[in-house]
A and B are shown apart, each in its own frame.
Chain A
C-alpha cells in the first residue's frame, strides 16, 4: 500500500464559507461605519454643533453678551437621553431634538428647533422626558421607529391637539390649563349627554341633559311627539336630541307611553286668551334671547343663545296651558334648569304664552298638519311596549321620568384611552389602527366601525336572527320560537318582523332554498337596521367637536403618573351655594346661569366675586331694579326681574358686605391722599386710554364708556358714580389678575401713576347727581374718594 499523496482539495462549500465570511465582515464594517459616522442622529448633532458655533460667532461679532465662541468640534456627538426610572421610561428623543430647551434654536428647522411656548419651563425635559406627554417610542433613535408609526407600537406620537389628552395623567382638575381642546371635549361629553349612558369614572358629572318628562303628555301634541321621535332634525334644524333609527312600530309605542305622562292640574285649568302685545313687552324685559334662539337672521341663521332650547316652532308643539304653568314655576317642571324664576302672575304668564305661541309658530307646517288624519290614542299594548323601549334604549340616561331609572349600561369609557388597539373593533373601516383614529371615526360616524350582522356557516339561521333582532322590546311580547321546518320558521320570523312594524306588510320570502330565503331575510332586516344595530345615536358632531371629544376620551386612561408627587396641585373649587336668604334668592333667580361667583357659575355676565369692592351699594340697588346695557353697542342687558324692594335691598346689601376681599386695592385706601386727579387726567391722555374708553363722547368703543348716560336712571351712571376706588386701583394694577381674558392691557404703571389715574377716574361723576351722591356718601363711605385737587 502506498500512501497516496494528500492533495488538499478546496471544496465548493469552503469557497462559499469564505465568501460569506468576507461578506459578513464587510457588512459588519459597513454597519460600524453607518452607526459611527452616518447615523441619522449623528448628522443632526453635527448640524446642531455647526449652528451653535455660527450663532456664537455672530453673537461675538455683535458683542452681545451671549458668551464665548463655541467650536463645533468641542460639541460631543453622543446618544443623549432622559432617564425616568419612576415612569419606567428612557427617552432618547433629545438625541435628535438637541435644541429642544435652547431658546436660541427657535429659528431652526426640525429636529433642531426649540420647544414652542413656555411649557418646558414647568415641565423640564430632564424631569419629564418627552413621551410622557407626546407618546411615541422613546428608546428608538431613528425617526420612523421613534415616532412610533411601526407595527405593534400602540402609542404612536400624538399629533396636533391630541397631545392635550395626556395632561390628565397629572392634572386632575376639571379644567386643565393650556389644554383648551381637551377642556372643550370634556364639556361636550357632559353637554351631549354621553355620560348619561356611559360610565366614565368620577371624572365627569352625570347630569341629565334632556328635559324632565313627567308632564310631557300635557306639554306637547301627539303629532309633534311622533314626528320628533322619528326625526328631530326635520322639525328643528338646531335640535339637540340625536336621532335614533327606530322602526315605526317602536315610535308608536314610545309616543303612546310618553303621552300617558300627564298632569291633571294643567289639563283641567281654565284658560282665558292672552294679549300678544303685552306678552311681547314681557319677552323683551325678560331678555329671553340671551338663552334661547328666538329668530332667524337674513341668511336663516339662528339668532339667540344656546343655553336653553331653541324657541322656533314651539307654537307647533306646545300646549298653552302647560306653558302658562311652566312660566309661573319653571323649577317644578325642570329642577335643574338654568332658567331663572321670574315673578310672572298668571295673567302675565298667559300674555307671554300668547306672544310665544303666535310668534313662534310655523303656519305652513300647522296647515299641513291640520290636513293629516288625527292619530289614534295608544293601545294598552303600545303603552306597555313604549315603557319597555324607554328602558331598553335607556332614554332615562338623558331624561328624568318617574318610575324609569337610568341603566347606564352602554360600554364603560373609564379607561377607553388606554384600551389596547387590538381590543378595539374597527370592522372593515379603512382607517389606521390607532386609538385616536378609532375614537375619531367612531364619533364622527358610529356605524362605520360596526360589524354588520352576517350568518355563519354551521349555525341555525333562524336562531341567530331571532337572537339578534332589535329593538328586543318589539319582539319580547311574542312567544318563543316555534319548532318546525326551517322554511316555516323563517316565514314565522318574517311575520313577527311585519307585526312589529320593522318590515313592510307586503314583503314575502322569495322562492328557492331555505338558505336563500334566510339570506334574503338577513338582507331585508339589515336594510332597516334591525339586526344587532348599534344603540348609540349619531350626534353628527362637527369635525372640530369630534376631535375635541376624541381627545377627551383619549384622556380617560388607566395610564397615570407613577406617584402622587407628580400630581399638579388642584385648584380649590369652592361651590357657591350659601344656605342663607341670599342663597335662596340665587336659587330662584339662578344668578349663576350668567354670573360667576368665586369659582361657580358662568361668565356670560360680570363676575360678582368682588362686587362689593367694585361698585357702590346705592348704584347696585338701583341697577337691580333698572338694569341697563354697559356698552353702547350692546342691546343685551340683565333681564328686568321686577325684584320686590326688600329683595333688591337684601341683594345689594349682601353683595356690598360679603362679595369683598379686603386686600383688593388696599393700597388705594392707604394712599388715596397722595392721589392727584389732575395728574391722572394727563396720564389718561399720555397712556392712550381714550383709544378704548370714551369720556364725554370722545374716544374708542372697546371698553365701556366712562361717562355712560342712562336717561331716567335714578342715580349717576358715570364711572365715578358707580365704581369704588379700591377696585379701580386693583384693576389698573393688573387687569388680568381680576379677569384673565380681558383685553385691557396691563400697562405696568407705577404706584403713583395708578393712584393718580384712579383719582381721575373717580372724579368722573355725572354733575346732575353730584348733590344726591354727596348724601349717599354717608352710607358707603367711598364716594368722596375722587376729590379733584387743583
Chain B
C-alpha cells in the first residue's frame, strides 16, 4: 500500500510547512532565538537563562513535537522552564505552531551545512 504514496508531493507538503514555519519564526521568534535558530538573536544578550539553541542535537533527542507544542503555546513556565519564554497559544494558532516546529526540526541540518560551508571556505 505504502508505495502508492506520491513521494514528491508529500515532500513538497512538508517543505511548504517548513517554509510557512520559517515565516512565523522570523516574525515572532527570531529576535531572541536568532536568524539561524542558534539562540543568538538580537535580544538574547539581555536574557538569563539564554534562549534555546535549536542546533543542539541532544535537545532534539529529548523532546517530541507534543512537548514543543506545549512549551510554545503555554510558555516556558508550563514545563518548569524560564518565564522569559512567553505563551504564544493565544497569538498563534495550532497549525502555525506545527509549522514552526517543522521549521525548527531543520535547524540542526542547516547549522551543519553552514558550518561545513564555512570550513570549506577557510
Contact = CB atoms under 8 A, between A and B. Distances in A.
B1 A109 contact: no
A21 interface: no
A113 interface: yes
Contacts of A700: 32, 43, 46-47
B3 to A, nearest CB: 10
Contacts of A743: 27-28, 31
Nearest to B83: A688
A746 B10 contact: no
B108 interface: no
B83 A110 contact: no
B90 A688 contact: no
Nearest to A51: B1
B43 A686 contact: no
A745 interface: yes
Contacts of A111: 6, 9
Interface in B45-76: 46-47, 75-76
Contact of B6 (A109, A688, A702, A747): A109
Contacts of B93: 118
Contacts of A685: 83
A47 interface: yes
B5 A109 contact: yes
A46 interface: yes
Contacts of B6: 109-111, 143
A298 B89 CA distance: 42
B5 A691 contact: no
Interface in B1-37: 1, 4-6, 9-10, 13, 16-17, 20, 27-28, 31-32
Contacts of A113: 10, 13
Nearest to B99: A116
A46 B1 CA distance: 9
Given A50-B1, A116-B95, A688-B76, A745 B83 contact: no
A691 B84 contact: yes
A688 B85 CA distance: 7
Nearest to A686: B83
A16 B91 CA distance: 75
A736 B43 CA distance: 21
A692 interface: yes
Nearest to A741: B27
Contacts of B47: 691, 700
Interface in A40-78: 43-44, 46-47, 50
A739 B24 CA distance: 16
B38 interface: no
Contacts of A50: 1
A685 B82 CA distance: 11
Instruction: Tell me which of A50, A692, A699 has the highest count of chain B C-beta atoms within 10 A of its own C-beta.
Output: A692
Interface residues of A, number: 33
Nearest to A110: B9
A117 interface: yes
Nearest to A180: B23
Contacts of B32: 691, 700, 702
A690 B82 CA distance: 12
A622 B10 CA distance: 59
A748 interface: yes
A6 interface: no
Contacts of B31: 702, 743
B86 to A, nearest CB: 5
B46 A748 contact: no
A688 B84 contact: yes
A701 interface: yes
B87 interface: yes
Given A745-B87, A745-B90, A699 B82 contact: no
A687 B83 contact: yes
B33 to A, nearest CB: 12
A44 B13 CA distance: 18
Contact of B86 (A46, A741, A747): A747
B20 to A, nearest CB: 8
Contacts of B28: 743, 745
Instruction: Tell me which of A700, A735, A741 has the highest count of chain B C-beta atoms within 10 A of its own C-beta.
Output: A700
B4 A43 contact: yes
Nearest to B28: A743
Contacts of B17: 116
Contacts of B13: 109-110, 113, 116
A143 B6 CA distance: 11
A117 B88 CA distance: 17
Instruction: Tell me which of A43, A113, A686, A691 has the highest count of chain B C-beta atoms within 10 A of its own C-beta.
Output: A691
B95 A701 contact: no
Interface string A747-766: 11000000000000000000
Given A44-B4, A116-B95, A745 B46 contact: no
A687 B86 contact: yes
Interface string B80-122: 0011111111110101001000000000000000000000000
Nearest to B1: A47
Contacts of A745: 28, 86-88, 90-91
A743 B42 CA distance: 15
Given A47-B1, A116-B95, A692 B87 contact: no
Contacts of A736: 91
Interface string A700-713: 11100000000000
A440 B86 CA distance: 43
A15 to B, nearest CB: 42
B87 A747 contact: yes
A692 B29 CA distance: 12
A701 B5 CA distance: 47
A492 B28 CA distance: 70
A44 B9 CA distance: 15
Given A688-B85, A699-B46, A743-B31, A748 B90 contact: yes
B46 A110 contact: no
A690 B84 CA distance: 7
A174 B16 CA distance: 26
A106 B20 CA distance: 15
Contact of B16 (A106, A116, A701, A735): A116
Closest 9 CB pairs of A and B: A688-B83, A109-B5, A109-B10, A691-B84, A746-B90, A110-B9, A700-B46, A745-B86, A688-B84
19 contacts: A43-B1, A43-B4, A109-B5, A109-B9, A109-B13, A111-B6, A113-B13, A118-B95, A686-B83, A687-B86, A688-B85, A690-B84, A702-B32, A702-B43, A735-B91, A743-B28, A745-B91, A746-B91, A747-B86
Given A116-B17, A117-B95, A688-B85, 6 more contacts: A110-B5, A116-B16, A691-B43, A736-B91, A747-B90, A748-B87
Interface of B: 1, 4-6, 9-10, 13, 16-17, 20, 27-28, 31-32, 42-43, 46-47, 75-77, 82-91, 93, 95, 98
